[in-house]
Amino acid sequence: MPFIDVVSFELTEDSHNYGAFELDWNDIFVTQLRINGFNGKTDEDVVENWFTVVCRNIALETYEQEEANTVTDNSNAIESAGQFVRRKSRGDGKSEVQ
């Protein structure tokens, strides 16, 4: 039976925006990933490619849900989950959010 397990998770002391996961898996899990199109030279590469896709999908889903819950008025104040933030265009296609 395939399995993957999160052995540990650590956040950096400087910033909680960065961290590391230690994963454990078996050969059957990697075989399933390869069958489903995940590639890599080593088993670690295959699992890392899969994990990157999972994290990307979580981030995109969260972003899309936040955008769906965002209401913008003419003053650029945004209400999301009961909190107001200001979004200001930087003019380079990116925005600052305060």
Residues 83, 63: Cα–Cα separation, whole Å: 16
| Average confidence score pLDDT of the chain | 80
Specify the pLDDT at position 95.
57
Q: Is residue 32 in a domain?
A: yes
Determine, yes or no, domain membership for 83. Answer: no
Would the CA dihedral through 56, 60, 66, 69 be positive or negative? negative
Give the model's pLDDT for residue 90. 67
> Computed from CA positions of residues 6, 11, 16, 19, in that sequence, does the dihedral angle turn out positive or negative?
negative
90 belongs to a structural domain: no
Task: Name which residue leads in pLDDT, 60 or 38.
Answer: 38
Has residue 88 been placed in a domain?
Answer: no
Residue 41 has pLDDT above 50, yes or no: yes
Q: What is the mean pLDDT of residues 50-65?
A: 87
Q: What domain range includes position 18?
A: 4-72
User: How many domains are contained in the chain?
Assistant: 1
Q: Is residue 78 part of a domain?
A: no
pLDDT over 70 (residue 83): no
Determine contact, residues 47/56, Cβ cutoff 8 Å. no
Q: What is the pLDDT of residue 44?
A: 94
